[in-house]
Amino acid sequence: MPRPLVKEDLLKLRFVSAPELSPCGERVAFVLTHIDEKTEEYRSYIYMQPVNGGAMHKLTGGGKIENGPKFSPDGKKLAFVSDRSGDKQIFVLDLELGGEARQVTTMRFGATSPTWSPDGRHLAFISRFAQKDTALDLEKARSQQERDEDDKKRHEEPKVIELIKNKADEAMGLLDMKHSHIWLISAEGGKARCLTNGDFEHVDPCWSPCGQDLAFASNRDGDPEFKPYYADIYTVRVATGEIKRITATEGPSSSPIWSPDGRSIAYMGHTGEFYSATLMRVWLISTDGGVPVNLTAQFDRSVGDQTGSDTRYGGGGEALFFSPDGASIYFLASDRGDTHVYHVSPKTHEVLQLTTGHMHVQSMSCSADGKRISLAASAHLYPTDLFLWEHERPLRRLTEVNQALLSEVALSEPDEFWFKGAEGWDIQGWLMKPTDFAPGQKYPLVLEIHGGPHTQYGCTFFMQFQLWANAGYGVVFTNPRGSHGYGQVFADAVRGDYGGGDYQDLMCATDYAAKLPWVDSERLGVTGGSYGGFMTNWIVGHTKRFKSAVTLRSISNWLSFYGVSDIGYTFTEYEILGNPWDNTELLLKHSPISYVKQISTPILIMHAEQDMRCPIEQGEQFYVYLKKLGVKTRMVRFPGANHELSRSGKPKLRLARLGHLLEWFRETL
């Protein structure tokens, strides 16, 4: 008999990411992350998996976090990033000779994103610095004492702020005003040379086939302060450092790749017609510049992985890649709860789906001949594993890293359903029965609401949902309007209408589930994070049908959100379509805090102290208002955590978070 899944099983999970298929296509390097039982900290190391059978084996283990594996063009060496020497630096491992990896960089503020030159003689990489930092400062890595002194200064010295973009959730506070720059170094090590300049971010370096240029994405000539999401594609001549602008668009551009003949560059981006709800597309432009061509204009889906999960750790892989003959460009896209591999023809613009079935492909990598693609993918009943795609052959699973745990615990498989939402729109959802389900009995039900709102729930492993099912709850989760996976009109429908059609969609999902014979309609709970937290706050202010609620990293007041969030001064205008000085009433109309007098549902408020995306004052306001009005409420604050707490936060805090969720619903539902 399988045992119940419990929150402590989080510590037993292993997370696969960053697949890197060797040029010959015979083996896959990847990152495997686990949680150290003693320290309860993440540990990431690089492993190798043969594609034609055989056990995976560990390649690295010298630090705490090692990732970003990249094969040299001949497949004989592997570059990767490791913190074994303190700050993250780039190392190279000789796969033929074996032995210890050799440290290549000694950058003062670390080095990431290694990418090999076509001849295998050099590595381009990214390192951060401010224009005031001298070359001598940057060439020597910091000692532990220097790192400690820098941390002390950051926490104790006054900060002079002149830019509106001065903090970020990923920084868990104020930005250090350093920027990412592209550097070049011999694969044997030595003196590094910076190829970019200025107070701009430079990301996604990619070598031209001839090795003379690097393409990258940056907002060098735009307005990085007030349009932080804008970026264009540039190239830099390696020999001279000459920078050339390739695109000039109103919107983001990223992940440039060169065509095999070196005449064109493909990239991901959009031109901002629907602001943050605009679908990402694949574009192609001549290396001489000109007008870019939207290759996926007729494919009504956003390029990239849009599916959320709480059991993935790390990224990696290739966002785009060309087939060797240049006839196809491969990419990921999310569609109706699944994320798959697609390719598009630069000539005909025809889009074809390569992988099939219900699954969540998170990252990919291709062999040099284009005949094999390695994938990191998950599904409802298993977290991420490695898979191999080959033309006209069934998808092969290469690893089962969590099989030991999954074989001993009870899991509930979600059932897909469709229902009519607001205005008769077709909306997709999933239902999970309790793992101890017995016909004839009635069970409480939890409505889960995703963040974004421009993401999607789908066919991926969600530990939180499985915990609900193992604790005796049914679970319903759905993709209301605003979600990705259903086209541009659907994704854009929430903008300017937060709490309107999206709220009705969620209530229609609840109506559908509440009518099922096994659901106790008197014991309904609701929870969600970020946008899902906003909707939870909104729901309890507009209906009393839910007996309990948990709001996570939520938004309660758009007026204050505008000025305190790291994205507030753009997101509020893009999504609510207003600002505090011209549209005060509009922002209050869409703010859950305006409806607190209508709330009677017991509600647990959970918020991370260093959340810069939805700052904790959003939860604090809601808590104080509810307490003053006599509503049963409780607030749990998580120190040392940001907006990513539920996905990549400290394991100890993630366990505490799950514990408080379960305890609250046991108490109130």
Asked if 302 and 335 count as a contact pair (C-beta separation under 8 A), the reply is no
Measured CA to CA, the distance from residue 573 to residue 568 in angstroms comes to 8
Measured CA to CA, the distance from residue 510 to residue 512 in angstroms comes to 5
Decide: helix, strand or coil at residue 618: helix
Q: What residues act catalytically?
A: 530, 643
For 160, residues 6+ apart whose C-beta sits below 8 A from its C-beta are none
277: left (phi over 0), alpha (psi -120 to 50) or beta: alpha
For residue 576, count other CB atoms closer than 10 A to its CB. Answer: 22
Measured CA to CA, the distance from residue 665 to residue 542 in angstroms comes to 20
Length of the chain measured in residues = 669
For 356, residues 6+ apart whose C-beta sits below 8 A from its C-beta are 340
Identity of residue 636: V
* Long-range contacts of the stretch 195-202 (C-beta < 8 A, 24+): 195/124, 195/236, 195/238, 195/241, 196/236, 196/243, 197/131, 198/131, 199/130, 199/131, 199/224, 200/224, 201/231, 202/126
31 exposure class (CB count in 10 Å sphere: 0-12, 13-18, 19+): buried
Whole-angstrom CA distances from 258 to 234, 236, 479, 550 are 12, 13, 36, 47
For residue 250, count other CB atoms closer than 10 A to its CB. Answer: 11
Instruction: At 25, list the tokens.
Output: 């296509």
Residue whose C-alpha is closest to residue 412's, from 338, 336, 477, 465: 465
User: What is the bridge-based pairing of β-strands 173-174 and 382-390?
Assistant: unpaired
| Exposure b/e, 377-407, CB count within 10 A at least 16 = b | bbbbebbbbbbbbeeeeebeebbebbeeebe
Residue whose C-alpha is closest to residue 222's, from 238, 245, 242: 245
Asked if 13 and 363 count as a contact pair (C-beta separation under 8 A), the reply is no
User: What is the bridge-based pairing of β-strands 603-608 and 633-638?
Assistant: parallel
DSSP for 159-211, written as a single string: -----S--EEGGGTEE--S-EEEEEEEETT----EE---SSS-EEEEEE-TTS
